Amino acid sequence: MAVMQISFPQEPAEYCGRDLVLAFPALVDGERVQCAITAEALEDHFGAVSLREDDMLRAFERHRREIERAARELLTEIGKKPVLLHSGYFRFYDA
């Protein structure tokens, strides 16, 4: 099995208030794949002080490498499918 090439363009994350997530892109073997992290995960594990867009973006940027590393792990497992990082994933991942 070939190793997937996964990278993360350094584009700003996008806030989606309806779903309370921040979305960010990944490139998997050159194809764009949507990744997102929940507000709950940003609050529980990355220090977001509220659900406000500014607070979530600040926490995301401070911990972007850790969040992208988690997204990379999931993409490696599931392939070129959208990834949604929930708080529970980080509880398990950090354990």
Question: Which CATH number goes with the domain that contains 53?
Answer: 3.30.160.140
Q: What is the DSSP secondary structure assignment for residue 94, as one 8-state letter?
A: H
Q: By C-alpha distance, which of 11, 10, 74 is closest to 41?
A: 74
Instruction: Dump pLDDT digits (tens) for 10-61.
Output: 999 999 999 999 999 999 999 999 999 999 999 999 999 999 999 999 999 9
- What CA–CA distance (Å, rounded) separates 42 from 92? 15
Q: Give the number of domains in the chain.
A: 1
Question: Residue 37's domain spans which residues?
Answer: 6-94
The structure's pTM equals 0.93
Could you tell me the two tokens for 72? 């990379």
> 50 lies in a domain?
yes
> 45 lies in a domain?
yes
Residue 1 has pLDDT above 80, yes or no: no
